[in-house]
Structure 1
Amino acid sequence: MMTGWSAANHQKQLLLAIGGVTFALWSGVAGSISAQVPVTAPSFEVASVRSVPAGQGYTSISPSGNRRFSAKNASMKLLIELAFGINDDQIAGKKLEWIDSELYDIEAAPEGDVPLSYEELRLPLQHLLAQRFHLTFHREWKNLPGYVLVIAKGGSKLAASKESSASGYIFQNGIRSPSISMKSLAAMLAHPLGRPVLDKTELTGNYDIRLSFAPDGSTDSPLPSIFTAVQEQLGLKLEPQKVPVEMLVIDHLEKTPSAN
């Protein structure tokens, strides 16, 4: 059986793994949250949703590109983060204490039996949350504690990318991308930091990034902290500062899903 801390920690690490695929689409600062789920949003052709008791195993999410979407022991908070491509500090609303503790199993098949990336799953998952949990929301901007990414004293150490298409991955101990903009790098850094990051480097173009840092909470890693790594390896600096973040404010969300 998992404790509350270990379950939450596992889901955070799971989001880091997913973030490696979806990073370019998530940005707490620059991203845009639709005011409401579109009526014409694509939906799952078949979907089974059920509540499950805690302590039944680890959380798992099917890989990107599958013909079916599967979530096991997933909290409502995780499902919302996946559906909207946001971080947990972008979720607001009253009486939402349960979204961390209530767990669900979801099995769903997209229309047309085609493989979908995590990006392509977002609208169907938003539609499912609206249909089965009667989710309604609005958006607001709020200044939250975060970081600004700036050029460190001595100048950047970035190498211009030779790749034509952007891609990248977040690991527990680093970030790898042969071609990434500073805006997208800031979005990627927000995942391990757990706080929004705003790009203020004023650097344009894409860069080849190889960043290695100690995993969050590690005390015996030979790697430097993420702050030291960003400065020493990239010639950039993370400075604490309040930054504007677009919030998903939940107006209504039901704990029990409607019948399959």
Structure 2
Amino acid sequence: MKVAVIQMVSGVDVQINVKQAGELLQSAAQAGAELLVLPEYFCLIGQHDADKLAIGEDEGHGPLQQFLSDTARHLGIWLVGGTIPLRSVSSPEAGAAPSDAQRVCNSSLVFSPAGECVARYDKIHLFRFDNGRERYDESLVLQSGHVPVTFDVPSQDGHTWRIGLSVCYDLRFPELYRAYAQAGAHVMLVPSAFTHTTGQDHWEVLLRARAIENLAYVAAAAQGGLHDNQRRTWGHAMLVDPWGKVLAQRAQEAGVVLADFDFAALNACRNRLPALQHRVL
């Protein structure tokens, strides 16, 4: 199965971002990609975190979801829409602060080649970081998800691939990926917008670790460059095999990263080193 992860440097104009995403997806599809993954916040990296609230959509309705559905159907691909801001699937709990109603979920949606939304994953772990120069706290505008999500892709190679969904900061929590491995996942997706500061030290080693410890492919789309708000993201969108080898990557700026995922090679790797069967705790 040929897989493509997209790298972007999204800015403050949603229409420009969506147009570029469409062009990159078309390029990847023309190269033969069957499963395509956009980065976290492909649609908008605004001047302020709260800017995403203004473009939040209800599940099943809205121009961003329509774009993803139309693109998947037009190109005949499995499309993972990076993330977009979606309003919570449930109403705020009784007694919740009024600001809770203003939060959105950082949601990764999966569309089939028929344009049908077949899965929704809401980012579980919300990023917070403060080194005295950079400060981030996603909980100010985001509501966390709680449920791991997988979906199955009946590939043109004759195999059905099980895919586990995650987003960016989730990468630091290996128990999520181990749960996916226990559920039979062959591939872990990590659409991201890693900061340059954390990415240069942790990005590749974490991605390769998640692949190695779960004997699974990892596909990580990324934001990579200097954005309109002067935030710099690390980039290095990459595809990693179950042995931890980086199959392909792109350092910075927008582009497409492609590689073939081999089902037989994955099984051979798991048979050669059956670590998933050796778990004790």
Whether the TM-score (by the shorter chain) exceeds 0.5 is no
Bigger strand share: 1
**Greater Cα radius of gyration, structure 1 or 2:** 1
- TM-score bracket, normalised by the shorter chain, equals under 0.3
Question: Which has the bigger relative contact order, CA under 8 A and spacing at least 6?
Answer: 1
With the length of structure 2 as denominator, give the TM-score of the two structures: 0.23
With the length of structure 1 as denominator, give the TM-score of the two structures: 0.24
